Amino acid sequence: MTVPPSSEPGCLHLHVPYDGPPLVAEPSGQFIGPDDDPQRYELFSRQRFGTEGVVWQARRRGHADGRAAFAIKVFAPVPGAETDPLPPGDLRRWQDQLGRFDAVSSPHLPGLRDVFVAADTRKPAGPRFHLVTDWIDGPSLDDRIRSGNDSTLDRLGHVRDLAAAYQALHVAGAGHPDPLIRHDIKPTSAVVHPGRGAVLVDVGRLHPGPDGFLPSRWQRSLFVAPELHAAPFGPRSPESDLYSLGALAFFCVTGYAPAQDMAAIRHELAEALTGPGIDSPGELAAHLAAMLEPDPEQRPPDPLAWADHALALATDRPRGWWARMFGGPVSPS
- Alpha-carbon gap, residue 242 to 309, rounded angstroms: 16
331 DSSP assignment: P
Tell me, yes or no, whether 148 and 274 share the same domain: yes
Query: How would you classify the pairing of strands 70-75 and 27-32?
Result: unpaired
How big is the CA angle at 222 (ends 218 and 225), to the nearest 5 degrees? Answer: 80
Q: What is the 3-state secondary structure (H, E, C) of 287-330?
A: HHHHHHCCCHHHCCCCHHHHHHHHHHHCCCCCCCHHHHHHCCCC
pLDDT at residue 226 above 60? yes
| Burial class, 119, CB count within 10 angstroms (exposed 0-12 / middle 13-18 / buried 19+) | middle
Tell me, yes or no, whether 275 and 222 share the same domain: yes
Query: Count of residues for the chain?
Result: 333
Q: Residue 315: its pLDDT value, please?
A: 67
Number of domains the chain contains: 2
Tell me, yes or no, whether 114 and 166 share the same domain: no
pTM exceeds 0.85, yes or no: no
Tens-place pLDDT, residues 256-307: 999 879 999 999 999 999 987 888 999 999 999 999 999 999 999 999 999 9
Which of 134, 161, 182 represents a domain boundary (last residue)?
Answer: 134
Tell me, yes or no, whether 148 and 241 share the same domain: yes
Are 187 and 193 spatial neighbours (Cβ–Cβ below 8 Å)? no
Tell me, yes or no, whether 101 and 192 share the same domain: no
Tens-place pLDDT, residues 63-96: 665 555 888 888 776 554 444 455 555 677 677 7
Q: Residue 43: give the domain boundaries.
A: 27-134
Torsion of CA 226, 139, 180, 55, to 10 degrees: -100
- Alpha-carbon gap, residue 92 to 254, rounded angstroms: 41
